[in-house]
Chain A
Amino acid sequence: MKKTFRVANVCAAFLFLILPFAMACGSRAASGSSQAATPPDLNGVWSAPFTPDISKALGHQPPFTAYGASRFAKEDEIDDPLTKCLPIGPARGIQAGLMPFQIVQTPSVFTILFENQHTFRIIHTDGRAHPKDLDPTWFGDSVGRWDGDTLVVDTVGLDDRTWLDTAGHEHSDQLHLVERFLKADNNTIKWTVTFEDPKYFTESWSITLPITRQNTEIMSYSCEENEKDRAHLRRAKK
């Protein structure tokens, strides 16, 4: 009985003296790691200016390869995938002008919800790398990391069916996008996108557009609900 009482006393001493100290050390360590910088909050409804011709944002035509130039010369707006109600793609969706998008940001995933045809991008920010052996998809595979206040997004695995704009600037499945989202102030994100595609362009090139906060909510969109144009379309070029 006396021995048990002594053990109990030692245990009690541990609980009342040592443990709180250990917990304080633990919480100090925890608060030390949580003192890492919190990324800027980009949640909200946003839009970048409608950019029907991406060469206007660049100031000149992109540096086409011979193949890219021959494709651009032939391309006709009647072949725009949007005309067939197909997805808009990751970068073109952002420069959609008066059709906004909503950013929903969590620590592990940064989502961009486009009003245009209610399509979306999922950008993983949990530190993962791109999967190997990606099959090309409409919006590709995006991973993002915070570089200070800038979200740097890397996207590969894009198939060649989207267009970069309305004017007919196309790309191949080798397209590699790098985007930088920098919150300039509470209502502005500076968005820089770099296009790399060795099949279409001799070197990578970049444009910068302002993404501005919109005082609106995402509205409904069904591209097929009353589609009446296709019967009337005519090829613009020969």
Chain B
Amino acid sequence: MRNVSSIAGGLAFFLLMVSAPAVAHHGFSVEFDKDNPLTITGTVTKMEFMNPHIYFYLDVKGKDGKVVNWAFEGGPPNVIYRQGWRKDTLKPGDVVTVKGFRAKDGTHLAACSAVKLPDGREISAGSGGVSQNAYGSAISTDGKK
């Protein structure tokens, strides 16, 4: 049974996917609410590894038993590709847990900040400071000189 649930303390390994480490197609606050976080577990139904932002969709079964399909937006594919993502990192049928922030317009849409994969895989991808990307080059993403 898939429930909308809070993260237990033991789920330590997350695949971090930050929506704005690079110049953004849009500002975060015009679409998403940083004061309205959510955590959802569901089954991947579709993955769109395309510009300007990747999208993936989860079937989420609520406590009432009804299944709702949620959309999650991530960073540009180029950016997360360099952080280790590939177009098949999420596949339909995968059960994942997503942490994110709800869309301001109240639809079943959220910005994704972290994904725990079925195998518990973790890829280091910082939202600030210096991060080592999949190619091994150090990139400062926090705008500091």
Residues of A within 8 A of B (CB): 47, 49-53, 56-57, 76-78, 80, 82-83, 85, 88, 92, 95-99, 115-116, 166, 208-210, 212-216, 219-223, 225-229, 232-236
Is there contact, CB below 8 Å, between A236 and B143?
no
B96-111 interface with A by 8 A CB criterion: 103-105, 107, 109
Is there contact, CB below 8 Å, between B30 and A76?
yes
Given contacts A98-B21, A226-B51, A234-B104, contact A216 B26 (CB under 8 A): no
CA distance A56 to B136 in the complex (A): 27
Residues in chain B near residue A47, CB distance under 8 A? 139
Instruction: Count A-B pairs with CB separation below 8 Å.
Output: 143
Given contacts A99-B78, A115-B78, contact A235 B52 (CB under 8 A): no
The residue that B29 contacts in the complex, of A83, A210, A236, with Cβ under 8 A, is A236
CA distance A49 to B127 in the complex (A): 12
Main secondary structure of the interface of B (DSSP, over half): loop
Is there contact, CB below 8 Å, between B144 and A97?
no
Main secondary structure of the interface of A (DSSP, over half): loop
What 1/0 mask marks residues of chain B from 70 to 102 whose CB sits below 8 Å from any chain A CB? Answer: 010100111101100000000000000000000
Given contacts A49-B144, A97-B139, contact A166 B81 (CB under 8 A): no
Residues of B within 8 A of A (CB): 20-27, 29-31, 48, 50-53, 55, 71, 73, 76-79, 81-82, 103-105, 107, 109, 133, 135-145
Is there contact, CB below 8 Å, between A80 and B26?
yes
Is there contact, CB below 8 Å, between A53 and B21?
no
Is there contact, CB below 8 Å, between B141 and A98?
yes
